């Protein structure tokens, strides 16, 4: 059966190349239906009213000729999955790796990315998070300009290549998280408003007209799309883009809460954990609190506050929203409680912002990172930390990222200090749209006080090509040493439960002003992370303490160094941490 929701159409016909058009019957609530059966691979579209040009199916699973072309039938049951034994991975204790398919490898395809999965396994990654892959106009894009949420972009390989990627990831022991965008649609190829009120006319968010969450069919369009990824593509979780832009949801049950309930039910049915991760700038624990505590029940959410605190500590940059995070206690506060703005005044917003996270909430519900696609790509030049930080400070960034309370996330190439930028790129075929995008980008950075001359033209192909990873960099010199450090940190996380302790910094976190810089002394379970961001050596005492021997007896056990980014001087009962370095100390690993 063919069906489509098109309450705005007075007439709907099914169009197929080489066949007569078929009239659809109007049903209830704006749904149109026909008993015509289509075979896998058949191309089709819908003629709305008396229009001569067919439109793609809003729920198209494949767009072989682009978002303006006809849809094609995709048969998910035809794929020969080999992951029957896959039982999934919870996000707790995990390590997420964010990648963009188009720039992760030279070919920029899902099949090419499969060849690099072993690299992620060696790194200790547990979850691969893909930037959006839904169909967009053009050949390359960040993915947030998608217009057909059910279709996989053809330039990445289409739906079969996506299934091959997920199947291979599961074979390697990796869970897959898919970034999805439910808060807006791209500017080119969006025909949904011709079908029905998918958007609220005149009510906008940052990217355009907001999605119409008052319509039951639109809510179902979102929720059933989420279920499609998790069920038909065997995906393990979804990262929900900018949920604070899901405006004006006045329903008795918020869309996010309803989505979480449906995903929980699907998880029980499939017998494997399914994860929802929200991107939210609201600093509101309602997002991650369970329904019993009047929360939405989302598994986890991104922590911009952690990023900002680490970025300022490492770079000293205090422009724009970074200004508040120059306070001495910023990093210790987010280490200990998750949010910096938890009801405090935000100078960037000009008002109080956020609420505290309840202390009983597990720390892994926050996804923490020193770099991600937004915080790099939305800089004027798209420059990574590697463009300005020394090798020693990049090593400190690695330690902070992989020891912080939370679920750590790496952005592709971060693990070797990639020199390639990650810039904002598009491939809009419409000249007027390309020009408007470039002009808007420059204006945005001018308003922030950044040099607009640094901003590359998003539509120039060179902007896209510059953003591709150069894998040869990882093979030698400082890059190889940094990669080795990330791998050692990944192993340490697996070996030492204290580094995945679900509590926030219950044993304390402190910062000290030192001539020329700062020193941070941060506790994680029984582990102690000392970061010396100063030109002065810093002495810490390593007193013997009484701990359980693991055999039911108490015994004296002195802390030892688990990892150091630069050699620390051992003294009797003390350790001298070198300038611009970090150490992790804790109980003897041999006696755990």
Tell me if 244 is assigned to a ligand binding site.
Answer: yes
Tell whether 271 and 394 lie within a shared domain. Answer: yes
Whether 91 is covered by a domain: the verdict is no
Same domain, 365 and 451: yes
Residue 563 sits at φ, ψ, to 5 deg, of -160, 145
Last residue of a domain, one of 495, 523, 544: 495
Domain interval for residue 57:
2-78
Q: At 549, list the tokens.
A: 């021997």
Q: What is the pLDDT of residue 71?
A: 98
* CA of residue 249 relative to chain centroid, distance: 23
Q: Is residue 305 part of a domain?
A: yes
Residues 6+ apart with CB under 8 A from 290: 297
Q: What is the pLDDT of residue 383?
A: 96
Residue 47: its pLDDT value, please?
Answer: 98
Number of H helices, E strands in the chain: 14, 31
| Residue 179 marked ligand-binding | no
Do 538 and 484 fall within a single domain? no
Would you say 501 is a known binding-site residue? no
Annotated ligand binding at 243? The verdict is yes
Distance CA 449, CA 486 (A): 34
Q: Residues 235, 266: contact at Cβ < 8 Å?
A: no
- The confidence score (pLDDT) of residue 548 equals 36
Residue 208 maps to a domain: no
- Joined tokens for residue 123: 């790194």
Short-list 90, 91, 89, 96, CA closest to 411: 96
Contact call for residues 578 and 567 (beta carbons, < 8 A): yes
CA distance 361 to 363: 6
445 with 561, same domain: the answer is no
88 within some domain: no
Contact 427/463 with Cβ under 8 angstroms?
no
Domain count, the chain: 3
Cα–Cα distances in angstroms (integers) from residue 132 to residues 24, 99, 235, 287, 554, in the given order: 33, 10, 13, 22, 52
H-type alpha helices, 251-315: 255-270, 304-315
Q: Please check whether residues 21 and 123 belong to one and the same domain.
A: no
What's the rounded Cα separation, in Å, for the pair 286 and 292?
Answer: 11
Q: Are residues 483 and 574 in the same domain?
A: no
**134 and 13 co-located in one domain:** no
- Tell whether 491 and 525 lie within a shared domain: no
Same-domain status, 417 and 457: yes
**Residue 254 annotated in ligand binding:** no
CA–CA separation, 81 vs 83, rounded Å? 6
Same domain? 456 vs 529: no
For residue 84, being part of any structural domain is answered with: no
Please state whether beta strands 175-180 and 237-240 pair in parallel, antiparallel, or not at all (unpaired): parallel
- Determine whether the annotation assigns residue 305 to a binding site: yes
What is the C-alpha to C-alpha distance for residues 376 and 382, in angstroms, rounded to an integer?
A: 5
**DSSP 8-state symbol, 457:** P
**Residue whose token pair is 């402190």:** 510
Given the residues 179, 236, 279, 284, select the one marked as catalytic: 279
> Residue 388's pLDDT is what?
97
β-sheet bridge partners, residue 239: 179, 277
Q: Is residue 83 part of a domain?
A: no
Put residue 401 in one of left, alpha, beta given phi > 0 → left and psi -120 to 50 → alpha: alpha
Phi and psi at residue 532, in whole multiples of 5°? -105, 100
| CA–CA separation, 60 and 367 (whole Å) | 32
Helix axes 477-495, 391-403, angle to 10 degrees: 20
Question: Do 499 and 563 touch, CB atoms closer than 8 A?
Answer: no
- pLDDT for 444 equals 76
Q: Is 73 among the domain residues? A: yes
CB 384 within 8 A of CB 422: yes
3-state helix vs strand vs coil in the chain, percent to 5? 35, 20, 45
Residues 241, 258, 324, 580: which is the catalytic one? 241
DSSP 346-383: ETTTTEEE--PPPTTS-GGGEEE-S--HHHHHTSTT--
- Buried b / exposed e over 74-111, threshold 16 CB at 10 Å, is bebeebeeeeeebebbbbbbbbbbbbbbbbbbeebbbb
Both 577 and 477 in a single domain? Answer: no
Catalytic residue status for 279: yes
Q: How far apart are CA 508 and CA 531, in angstroms?
A: 14
Q: Give the pLDDT of the chain (592 residues) as one tens digit per residue.
A: 899 999 999 999 999 999 999 999 999 999 999 999 999 999 999 999 999 999 999 999 999 999 999 999 999 999 999 999 999 999 999 999 999 999 999 999 999 999 999 999 999 999 999 999 999 999 999 999 999 999 999 999 999 999 999 999 999 999 999 999 999 999 899 999 999 999 987 666 777 788 999 999 999 999 999 999 999 999 999 999 999 989 777 788 999 999 999 999 999 999 999 999 999 999 999 999 999 999 999 999 999 999 999 999 999 999 989 999 999 999 999 999 999 999 999 999 999 999 999 999 999 999 999 999 999 999 999 999 999 999 999 999 999 999 999 999 999 999 999 999 999 999 999 999 999 988 888 887 776 667 777 899 999 999 999 999 999 999 999 999 999 999 999 999 999 999 999 998 656 899 999 999 999 999 998 999 999 999 999 999 986 543 333 333 344 557 899 999 999 999 888 999 999 999 999 988 654 4
- Can you give the length of the chain in residues? 592
Rounded CA gap, 354 and 282, in Å?
6
**Is 326 labelled a binding residue?**
no
Residue 212 annotated as part of some ligand binding site: no
Domain boundary residue, one of 433, 461, 495? 495
The CATH number for 132's domain is 3.20.20.80
Are 121 and 234 part of one and the same domain?
yes
Q: Is 210 part of a structural domain of the chain?
A: no
Instruction: State how far the Cα of 473 lies from the Cα of 417, in Å rounded to an integer.
Output: 9
CATH no. for residue 560? 2.60.40.1180
- pTM exceeding 0.85: yes
């Amino acid at each position: 059966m063919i069906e489509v929701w098109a309450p705005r159409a007075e007439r709907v016909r099914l169009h197929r190349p080489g066949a007569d058009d078929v009239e659809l019957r109007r049903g209830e609530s704006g749904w149109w239906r026909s008993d015509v059966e289509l075979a896998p691979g058949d191309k089709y579209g819908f003629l709305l009213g008396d229009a001569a040009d067919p439109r793609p199916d809003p729920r198209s699973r494949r767009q072989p000729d682009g978002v303006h072309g006809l849809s094609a039938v995709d048969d998910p049951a035809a794929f020969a999955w080999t992951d029957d034994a896959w039982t999934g991975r919870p996000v707790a204790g995990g390590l997420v790796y964010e990648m963009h398919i188009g720039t992760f490898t030279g070919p920029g395809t899902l099949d090419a990315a499969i060849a690099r999965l072993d690299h992620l396994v060696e790194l200790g990654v547990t979850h691969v998070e893909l930037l959006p892959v839904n169909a967009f106009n053009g050949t390359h894009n960040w993915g947030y300009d998608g217009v057909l949420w059910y279709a996989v972009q053809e330039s990445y390989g289409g739906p079969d290549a996506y299934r091959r990627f997920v199947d291979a990831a599961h074979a390697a022991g990796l869970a897959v998280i898919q970034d999805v965008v439910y808060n807006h649609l791209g500017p080119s190829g969006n025909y949904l408003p011709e079908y029905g009120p998918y958007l609220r006319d005149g009510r906008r968010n940052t990217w355009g007209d907001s999605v119409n969450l008052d319509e039951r069919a639109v809510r179902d369009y979102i929720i059933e799309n989420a279920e499609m990824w998790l069920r038909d593509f065997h995906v393990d979780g979804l990262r929900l883009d900018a949920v604070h832009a899901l405006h004006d949801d006045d329903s008795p049950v918020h869309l996010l809460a309803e989505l979480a309930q449906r995903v929980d039910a699907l998880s029980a049915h499939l017998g494997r954990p399914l994860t929802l991760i929200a991107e939210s700038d609201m600093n509101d624990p309602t997002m991650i609190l369970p329904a019993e505590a009047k929360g939405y029940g989302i598994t986890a959410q991104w922590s911009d506050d952690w990023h900002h605190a680490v970025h300022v500590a490492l770079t000293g940059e205090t422009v724009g929203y970074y200004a508040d995070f120059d306070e001495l206690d910023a990093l210790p506060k987010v280490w200990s409680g998750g949010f910096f703005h938890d009801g405090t005044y935000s100078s960037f917003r000009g008002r109080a912002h956020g609420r505290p996270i309840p202390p009983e909430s597990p720390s892994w519900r926050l996804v923490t990172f020193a770099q991600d696609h937004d915080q790099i790509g939305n800089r004027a030049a798209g420059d990574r930390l590697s463009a300005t930080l020394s090798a020693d400070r990049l090593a400190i960034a690695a330690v902070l990222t992989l020891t912080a309370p939370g679920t750590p996330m790496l952005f592709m190439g971060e693990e070797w200090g990639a020199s390639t930028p990650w810039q904002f790129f598009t491939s809009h075929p419409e000249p007027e749209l390309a020009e408007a995008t470039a002009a808007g980008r420059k204006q945005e950075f001018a308003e922030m006080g950044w040099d607009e001359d640094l901003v590359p033209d998003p539509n120039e192909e060179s902007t896209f090509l510059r953003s591709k990873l150069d894998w040869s960099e990882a093979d030698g010199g400082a890059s190889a040493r940094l990669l080795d450090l990330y791998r050692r940190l990944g192993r340490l996380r697996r070996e030492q439960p204290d580094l995945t302790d679900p509590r926030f910094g219950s044993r304390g976190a402190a910062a000290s002003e030192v001539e020329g810089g700062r020193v941070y002394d941060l506790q994680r379970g029984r582990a102690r992370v000392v970061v010396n961001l100063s030109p002065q050596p810093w002495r810490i005492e390593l007193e013997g303490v009484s701990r359980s021997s693991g055999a039911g007896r108490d015994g004296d056990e002195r802390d030892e160094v688990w990892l150091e980014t630069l050699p620390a001087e051992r003294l009797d009962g003390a350790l001298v941490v070198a300038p611009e370095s970090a150490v992790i100390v804790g109980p003897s690993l041999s006696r755990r």
